């Protein structure tokens, strides 16, 4: 791989594997290169779960890097993901974040597309170029794979198939977050904007939680034993025993912390897929966090919550009650992640490196064996990032 | 909707409740905030985007006064966040009542947030949809739903709206 980025953005990477230069969070000129090498490169990106668009014609708008896209369920019940741009002059076709349409009409010159992406009408086409053929103007789509109802896309022709890309240690627990069989029901979004670079959001690791979240302590709730699996291409997967707090005196109404599920031995799963998607199954909450960088500064995260089709009414209500109180930007046990993101962002304007410590056995060697609460689990992701970006590591 | 029972006096009483509620929050008397609700109550803050299509997930969802108190306990003792103040501006309410004891009320709100660096922003815009009842002679919220238009929450929401 070339060590000289095409757009000239270069950055001297420290020799030590546990050091990350703070300027990597601040340099605006890195963003175009990140788009090219990461978001439009050899990575898979989750876009929509089938339960978010359950009816024919349901659509959801999203972004891949800076590219507007949308997912839609066609008349044939197939889900397709398209570039959100008319194939004529490029006007966006959908402007709402989600909705239902049986056809997609461009308001500019009234080109009309079916939910299957075919151009089905364009006024005055007799005056178009002599060999104009509607068949050549379908909406561009992406290489797409589906897993338990979750649809992933990539712009790469060469990246490995999804399962191989994620690795078994990530793929199998993700399947459990997705209900084991993908038969989920979508129950709503919580959307939040964090004022930080997208990579600061990614560093939100398993190490901080027990320290940062006083709420855990207040609830007499320490995480159970578990493992952290990391892969060379930067995915992280935490699985731990779900320990139900038994004596909660700090709360007036502790019913919010009831666990109505059955599986506790690996009942708590948190996964971070490179570059920036988090999946989690905490207590009875099933959650996908779709994340969208807003350029070099700012990131929008859409927390999507689910129930399972087999849930009874009581379980549905319970999942919704937990989802609406424990996680997300207003969640009793997670909201302070957000304030940390902003403070990291301010602090990163100082010179030098961010330094990882917990779990680092050698500063000059990448280690994929990490303990449950080691922050060193972030380092393979940083090394993957460095390589993709073509930044040269200093000699040790 | 029948609205025979609404007198000027009752209208004033409802408006006093709405005003006292936001004053309580903006003055940081949050320990008193649960007292504006009946023991069995429903308080929720929900994105308009979910509410309009019938998706139930909210960002705060308390169905007992105890849960309201827990929110304040967490805010005071557990959660970490930048010091911040709210200023609520609320519209004149639309009030309907059939019996002078139960009121269906809707009003618009804007919350401006100022953090400890002195920066003020438009934080959250929406409407309150309320069911207000008389509880031992005093008007209280049986249900208060804040449906916010603002597409996304900036950073976090720790103080109730």
pLDDT in tens, A13-45: 999 999 999 999 999 999 999 999 999 999 999
Q: pTM score, two decimals?
A: 0.93
Residue A2 lies in a domain: no
Do residues A196 and A66 share a domain?
Answer: no
Q: What are the DSSP calls for A318-369, one per residue?
A: HHHHHHTTTSSTT-TTTTHHHHHHHHHHHHTTSSSEEE--TT-S-TTS----
Which residues in chain B touch residue A217, judged by CB atoms under 8 angstroms apart? 78
Do residues A329 and A377 share a domain?
Answer: yes
Residue A97 lies in a domain: yes
Residue A159 lies in a domain: no
More confident residue, A242 or A144: A144
Q: Is A266 helix (H, G, I), strand (E, B) or coil?
A: coil
Q: Give the tens place of pLDDT for each residue, B114-142.
A: 998 899 999 999 999 999 999 999 999 99
Closest to B107 in 3D by CA, of B95, B120, B123: B95
Inform me whether the pLDDT recorded for A206 exceeds 60: no
CATH number for position A96: 2.102.10.10
- Topology of domain B8-148 in CATH is Nuclear Transport Factor 2; Chain: A, (3.10.450)
Residue A334 lies in a domain: yes
> What's the rounded Cα separation, in Å, for the pair A38 and A45?
10
Residue A167 lies in a domain: no
Residue A330 lies in a domain: yes
Residue A396 lies in a domain: no
Do residues A59 and A118 share a domain?
Answer: yes
Do residues A316 and A203 share a domain?
Answer: yes
Do residues A141 and A209 share a domain?
Answer: no
Do residues A236 and A379 share a domain?
Answer: yes
- Residue B152, chain A, CB below 8 Å: the answer is yes
Count: domains in chain A: 2
Please name the residue that has the structure tokens 């990461």: A38
Do residues A261 and A354 share a domain?
Answer: yes
Task: Provide residues of A within 8 Å CB-CB of chain B.
Answer: 97-98, 186-195, 212-215, 217-218, 250-253, 256, 300, 305, 320-321, 323-325, 328-330, 332, 335-336, 338-342
Mind spelling out the 3-state secondary structure of chain B? CCCCCCCHHHHHHHHHHHHHHHHHHHCCCHHHHHHHEEEEEEEEEEEHHHHHCCCCCCCEEECCHHHHHHHHHHHHHCCCCCCEEEEEEECCCEEEECCCCEEEEEEEEEEEEEECCCCEEEEEEEEEEEEEEEECCEEEEEEEEEEECCCCEECCCCCCC
Q: Give the tens place of pLDDT for each residue, A318-328.
A: 999 999 998 88
> Closest residue of A to B44, CA-based?
A324
Please name the residue that has the structure tokens 């909660």: A248
Do residues A136 and A197 share a domain?
Answer: no
Which residues in chain B touch residue A192, judged by CB atoms under 8 angstroms apart? 152-156
Do residues A62 and A88 share a domain?
Answer: yes
Q: Is this complex's ipTM strictly greater than 0.90?
A: yes
Closest to B158 in 3D by CA, of B41, B59, B46, B20: B59
Q: Note which residues in 38-77 of chain B have CB less than 8 A from chain A.
A: 44-45, 47, 49-50, 53, 55-67, 69-71, 73-74, 77
Do residues A142 and A192 share a domain?
Answer: no
Do residues A239 and A379 share a domain?
Answer: yes
Q: Establish whether the linkage from the previous residue to A275 is cis, with ω within 30° of 0.
A: yes
> What's the rounded Cα separation, in Å, for the pair A234 and A245?
32
Do residues A34 and A111 share a domain?
Answer: no
Q: Give the tens place of pLDDT for each residue, A327-376.
A: 888 888 777 777 788 788 888 889 999 998 988 998 988 888 888 888 88
Expressed as residue numbers, the domain containing A220 is 19-40+181-389
Inform me whether the pLDDT recorded for A3 exceeds 50: no
CATH number for position A340: 3.90.380.10
């Amino acid at each position: 791989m070339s060590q000289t980025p095409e757009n000239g953005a270069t950055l001297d990477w420290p020799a030590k594997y546990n050091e990350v230069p703070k300027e990597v969070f601040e340099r605006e000129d890195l963003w175009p290169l990140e788009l090219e090498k990461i978001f439009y490169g050899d990575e898979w990106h989750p876009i929509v779960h089938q339960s978010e668009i359950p009816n024919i014609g349901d659509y959801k708008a999203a972004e891949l890097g800076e590219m507007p896209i949308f997912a839609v369920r066609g008349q044939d019940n197939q889900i397709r993901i398209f570039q959100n741009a008319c194939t004529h002059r490029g006007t966006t076709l959908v402007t709402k974040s989600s909705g239902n349409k049986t056809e997609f009409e461009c308001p500019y010159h009234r080109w009309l597309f079916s939910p299957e992406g075919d151009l089905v009408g364009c006024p005055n086409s007799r005056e178009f170029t002599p060999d104009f053929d509607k068949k050549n103007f379908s909406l561009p789509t992406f290489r797409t794979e589906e897993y338990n109802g979750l649809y992933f896309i990539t712009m790469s022709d060469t990246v490995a198939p999804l399962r191989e890309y994620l690795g078994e240690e990530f793929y199998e627990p993700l399947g459990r977050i997705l209900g084991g069989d993908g038969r989920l029901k979508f129950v709503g979004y919580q959307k939040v904007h964090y004022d930080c670079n997208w990579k600061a959001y990614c560093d939100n690791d398993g190490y901080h939680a027990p320290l940062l979240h006083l709420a855990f302590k207040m609830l007499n709730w320490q995480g159970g034993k578990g493992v952290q699996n990391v892969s060379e291409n930067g995915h992280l997967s935490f699985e731990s025993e779900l320990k139900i707090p038994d004596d909660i005196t700090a709360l007036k109404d502790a019913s919010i912390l009831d666990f109505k599920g059955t599986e506790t031995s690996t009942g708590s799963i948190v996964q971070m897929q490179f570059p920036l998607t988090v999946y989690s199954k905490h207590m009875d909450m099933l959650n996908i966090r779709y994340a969208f960088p807003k350029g070099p500064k700012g990131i929008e995260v859409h927390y999507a919550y689910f129930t399972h089709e087999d849930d009874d009414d009581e379980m549905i209500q319970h999942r919704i009650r937990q989802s609406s109180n424990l996680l997300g930007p207003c969640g009793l046990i997670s909201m302070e992640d957000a304030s940390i993101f902003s403070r990291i962002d301010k602090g990163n304007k100082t010179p030098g490196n961010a330094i990882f410590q917990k779990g680092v056995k050698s500063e000059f060697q990448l280690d994929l064996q990490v303990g449950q609460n080691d922050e060193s689990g972030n380092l393979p992701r940083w090394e993957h990032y460095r390589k993709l970006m073509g930044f040269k590591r200093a000699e040790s | 909707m029948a609205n025979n029972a609404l007198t000027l006096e009752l209208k004033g009483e409802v408006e006093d409740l709405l005003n006292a509620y936001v004053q309580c929050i903006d003055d940081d008397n949050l320990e008193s905030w649960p007292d504006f609700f009946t023991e069995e109550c429903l308080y929720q803050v929900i994105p308009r985007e979910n509410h309009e299509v019938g998706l139930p997930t909210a960002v705060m969802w308390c169905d007992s006064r105890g849960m309201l108190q827990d929110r304040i306990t967490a805010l005071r003792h557990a959660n970490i966040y930048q010091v911040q103040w709210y200023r609520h501006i609320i519209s004149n309410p639309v009030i309907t009542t059939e019996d002078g004891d139960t009121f269906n009320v809707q009003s618009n709100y804007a919350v401006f947030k100022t953090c400890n660096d002195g920066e003020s922003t438009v934080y959250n815009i929406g409407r309150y949809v309320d069911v207000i009842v008389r509880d031992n002679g005093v008007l209280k919220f049986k249900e208060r739903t804040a449906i916010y238009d603002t597409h996304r929450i900036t950073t976090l929401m720790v103080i109730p709206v």
